Amino acid sequence: MKKITIAIDGHSSCGKSTMAKDIAREVGYVYVDTGAMYRSVTLYALRHNLFNEDGSVKTSELEKEMDHIRISFQFNAEAGRPDTYLNGECVEKEIRSLEVSNHVSPIAAVPFVRTAMVAQQQQMGKDKGVVMDGRDIGTTVFPDAELKVFVTASAQVRAQRRYDELKAKGMPADFDDILKNVEERDYIDSHREVSPLRQAPDAILLDNSEMTIAEQKDWLMQRFNEAVGLTR
């Protein structure tokens, strides 16, 4: 069976990572969580005081630090998924905090950050057989991907999912704060100058507001089988 590249883009907290992990595990592909890469840079910036009081990024200082930011993934056999490492430290839990969520969009909008992350992502996927999810995978990172999916859901549904996820992990969560964060990230991601969030012309739209995880998985497997020529 030929190997392809699967690009899953969409709004924050709409289940992209769950879909991407499931399909990668099902077909034996490598999964890369590109959002975790930007979150890791954000965590580094928070730890090194690289934000101004108004929430904007100290870009000149961050640019000097980029060579010291190393992001990698290691498979966690117990969890059945890859964990994110920042300079050798597992930060999988830390990068999912609301504080990181509140600061990640400005970081992701910085041109030199995107350039560095896109270069790493393209290197990871050069041999195909890879699933990536993010904001610009089908438009910028892999515009020639054989299967592109753009995922969305209502802001309220996405906020509830994020709230449930944080509570399940024993982390503090306030629904109204999360909803505000979701709406703000939608606006920033869609209006940034570099690689804004948008649906690629050849991407398949999926609104999963009313879908279960199992239904999403079945839907994506059907699209995969079509892309590799197993069904018509």
CA angle 79, 37, 16 (to 5 degrees): 60
Q: pLDDT per residue over 60-78, tens digit each?
A: 999 999 999 999 888 888 8
Q: Buried (b) or exposed (e) across 118-149, using 16+ Cβ within 10 A? A: bebbeebbeeeebbbbbbbbbbbbbeebbbbb
CA distance 218 to 193: 35
Q: How confident is the model at residue 231 (pLDDT cuts 50, 70, 90)?
A: low
pTM for this predicted structure: 0.78
Does the CA dihedral 182-187-193-199 come out positive or negative?
A: positive
pLDDT recorded at residue 41: 98
Which SS3 state, helix, strand or coil, does residue 58 take?
A: coil
pLDDT recorded at residue 165: 87
In the block, which residue shows the tokens 């209502």?
154
Q: Edge-to-edge strands of the sheet including 30-33?
A: 30-33, 130-134, 5-10, 147-152, 204-207
Per the model's pLDDT, the better-predicted residue between 46 and 194 turns out to be 46
Which SS3 state, helix, strand or coil, does residue 11 take?
A: coil
pLDDT recorded at residue 124: 86
Mean pLDDT of 17-21: 89
Task: Find, among 152, 121, 139, the residue nearest to 15 by Cα.
Answer: 152
Per the model's pLDDT, the better-predicted residue between 75 and 121 turns out to be 121
pLDDT recorded at residue 51: 97
Q: How confident is the model at residue 196 (pLDDT cuts 50, 70, 90)?
A: confident
pLDDT recorded at residue 221: 95
Q: pLDDT per residue over 86-105, tens digit each?
A: 999 999 999 999 899 999 98
Mean pLDDT of 51-60: 96
What are the structure tokens assigned to 196, written together? 């804004």
Alpha helix stretches (DSSP H) within the chain = 16-27, 34-47, 59-65, 98-108, 111-124, 155-168, 175-191, 213-227
- Asked whether the predicted pLDDT for residue 30 surpasses 70, the reply is yes
Q: How confident is the model at residue 232 (pLDDT cuts 50, 70, 90)?
A: low
Average pLDDT over the chain reads 92
- Asked whether the predicted pLDDT for residue 186 surpasses 70, the reply is yes
